[in-house]
C-alpha cells in the first residue's frame, strides 16, 4: 500500500467532482472545490471520520469492500477503480463480462448506422441494441428473456436459431459460440449469468458439453458467414466487431462486398425491407 499516493489520488478525484455530478444541490456559499469529504463518505455509505483518515494518511489499510464503495461514490471509471486498488496494494477486481448498460461511445456510433445491419452485444452474446436492418436480416434478437438472451443458450437449445445458417456451417458456428462463452467464463469465473448459461448447457446439451471439454479458443471473429434469409435466400456477409474500452460490449456490423449479389440484397432490405414484414 502507498498511503501518500492513495490519499492524493482520492483527493484529486473528490475535488474534480461537482455536486451536480452526483445529484447534490450546489450552494451559493460553497467554498470547497469539488465535493466535501462528508459528501463522499455519504455517497460511499461510510463514516466521515473513516474516509477523512484515509485522505489524511491516518487510517488503517482500507478493505477491498471499502475501496469498491469509494470507487462507486466517486464515480470512478473502471480504469480509475483498478488504479485505486493497486495503490491500496490489492489485485484489481475482475471486469464483469456482462453489462446491460450500453457504452456511450459504442451507442453513438450505432445510432449513425442507418444503412447497415448493426447490433450491440455483450460478451455473453446478449443483444442489447439492434437497428431496423439487423432485425430484418437476422430477426428480432431483443425479444428474448431469461437464459434465452444468451446466443449460446439459443444455439444449443432452439432449432430456430440454427435455421439462419446452412447445415454445413453448424459445427463451425457451434465451436465459435462455445469458445466465446469459454472466454467470458475465463474473464470472470464468478459472473452468475455466465455460470447459469454454462451450467445449464452442460446438463441439457451433449453437443455443447463435448465442445466445452475441448477448451476451444478463437481470436477476433470477423470471418465470412452465410445467412439463410427466409425471403431473400442466402447472403454472404462479414461480421465486423468494434469493442468498447472494457472489452465487454461489441458493435457488430454486417457487410457484403460492393457489387455482389449479397450487397444488392442488403440494399434491397434498406430500401424496401418494410414491405417484407
Angstrom distance (rounded) from CA 231 to CA 52: 66
Q: All 3 cell numbers of residue 65?
A: 469492500
Report the pLDDT averaged over residues 90-109: 72
195 near 233, Cβ under 8 Å?
no
Residue 29 in 3-state DSSP? coil
For position 230, what pLDDT does the model report?
Answer: 86
Strands 224-229 and 233-243: antiparallel
For position 137, what pLDDT does the model report?
Answer: 92
Domains of the chain: 3-87 (1.10.260.40), 104-276 (3.30.450.180)
Higher-confidence residue of 30 and 154: namely 154
For position 30, what pLDDT does the model report?
Answer: 65
Angstrom distance (rounded) from CA 122 to CA 197: 14
Angstrom distance (rounded) from CA 49 to CA 94: 29
Q: pLDDT tens, 219-239?
A: 655 678 899 998 889 999 988
Q: All 3 cell numbers of residue 39?
A: 459528501
CA distances 252 to 58, 113, 199, 266, Å, are 50, 11, 27, 15
109 near 243, Cβ under 8 Å?
no
256 near 235, Cβ under 8 Å?
yes
Angstrom distance (rounded) from CA 156 to CA 208: 7
Enumerate the β-bridge partners of residue 120. Answer: 129, 251
For position 58, what pLDDT does the model report?
Answer: 84
Percent of the chain whose pLDDT exceeds 70: 88
> Would you say the pTM of this structure is higher than 0.85?
no
For position 201, what pLDDT does the model report?
Answer: 96
Q: pLDDT tens, 137-194?
A: 999 999 988 899 999 999 999 998 999 999 999 999 999 999 989 988 887 777 788 8
Q: pLDDT tens, 51-97?
A: 888 888 887 888 888 888 888 888 787 778 888 888 888 887 766 54
Q: All 3 cell numbers of residue 165?
A: 445458417
Amino acid at each position: 500500500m502507498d498511503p501518500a499516493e492513495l490519499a492524493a489520488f482520492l483527493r484529486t478525484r473528490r475535488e474534480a467532482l461537482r455536486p451536480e455530478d452526483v445529484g447534490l444541490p450546489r450552494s451559493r456559499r460553497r467554498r470547497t472545490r469539488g465535493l466535501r469529504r462528508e459528501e463522499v463518505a455519504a455517497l460511499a455509505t461510510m463514516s466521515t471520520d473513516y474516509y477523512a483518515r484515509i485522505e489524511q494518511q491516518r487510517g488503517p489499510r482500507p478493505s477491498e469492500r471499502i475501496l469498491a464503495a469509494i470507487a462507486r461514490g466517486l464515480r470512478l471509471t473502471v480504469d480509475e477503480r483498478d488504479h485505486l486498488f493497486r495503490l491500496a496494494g490489492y489485485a484489481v477486481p475482475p471486469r464483469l463480462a456482462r453489462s446491460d448498460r450500453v457504452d456511450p461511445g459504442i451507442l453513438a456510433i450505432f445510432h449513425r448506422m442507418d444503412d447497415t445491419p448493426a447490433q450491440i452485444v455483450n460478451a455473453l452474446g446478449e443483444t442489447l441494441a439492434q437497428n431496423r436492418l439487423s432485425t430484418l436480416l437476422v430477426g428480432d434478437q431483443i425479444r428474448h428473456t431469461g437464459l434465452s438472451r444468451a446466443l449460446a443458450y439459443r444455439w444449443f437449445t432452439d432449432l430456430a436459431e440454427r435455421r439462419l445458417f446452412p447445415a454445413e456451417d453448424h459445427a463451425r458456428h457451434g465451436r465459435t459460440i462455445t469458445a466465446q462463452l469459454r472466454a467470458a467464463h475465463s474473464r470472470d469465473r464468478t459472473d452468475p449469468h455466465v455460470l447459469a448459461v454454462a451450467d445449464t448447457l452442460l446438463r441439457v446439451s451433449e453437443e455443447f458439453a463435448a465442445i466445452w471439454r475441448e477448451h476451444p479458443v478463437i481470436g477476433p471473429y470477423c470471418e465470412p458467414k452465410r445467412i439463410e434469409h427466409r425471403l431473400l435466400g442466402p447472403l454472404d456477409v462479414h461480421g465486423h466487431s468494434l469493442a468498447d474500452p472494457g472489452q465487454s460490449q461489441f458493435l457488430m456490423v454486417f457487410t457484403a462486398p460492393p457489387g455482389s449479389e449479397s450487397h444488392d440484397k442488403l440494399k434491397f432490405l434498406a430500401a424496401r425491407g418494410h414491405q417484407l414484414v
